[in-house]
Amino acid sequence: MILLLIFIILTVLGIIGITKFKGWGWKNELKIGTSWIAAIVGAIALITSIIVIITAHAGADVNRATWTQQYEALQFKVENEQVRDEFGIRNIELINEVQEWNMNVAKLQAQRQNIWVNIFISPAVDDFNTIDINKFNSN
């Protein structure tokens, strides 16, 4: 959110600088050049930010559906204690899947709480929790 505001301010200041500084002389030319650079960089960053925001929020339903399926599948495996394979060896792949899920959910939820980047993260992540690894059968 704050990054978006910074990009807006940078663009506006650049445009104000372009329109304000007129005349000849190296000082005015330096100010005008700096203003153009600020306006262009700010506009590019602003456009990119808007595209990212639209993508994150427009795809929220798709993310929610995909993550729901993944969460339910992992939860089913954990609840049915499929931690060990047919030979009694721990299913490291399942543990790694759950760990990766937990890390992704925790990271996205933390980013969603971060005032700098929260607007860029899909709101669908708020609907999910981590999976408790302690549910695994450790026999």
- 72 and 116 in one domain? yes
Percent of the chain with pLDDT over 90: 35
4: closest CA among 62, 59, 61, 56?
Answer: 56
Domain carrying residue 122:
61-139
- 72 and 29 in one domain? no
- 103 and 52 in one domain? no
18: closest CA among 43, 48, 1?
Answer: 43
The tokens 């931690």 sit on which residue? 83
11: closest CA among 61, 62, 47, 50?
Answer: 47
Q: How do residues 34-80 score in pLDDT, each as one tens digit?
A: 889 999 999 999 999 999 999 888 888 888 999 999 999 988 888 77
- 120 and 82 in one domain? yes
- 69 and 36 in one domain? no
**Which of 58, 78, 103 is the endpoint of a domain?**
58
Query: Which structure tokens are listed for 24?
Result: 């000849």
Q: What confidence score (pLDDT) does residue 9 get?
A: 92
The tokens 């639209």 sit on which residue? 54
Helices (H) and strands (E) in the chain, counts: 4, 0
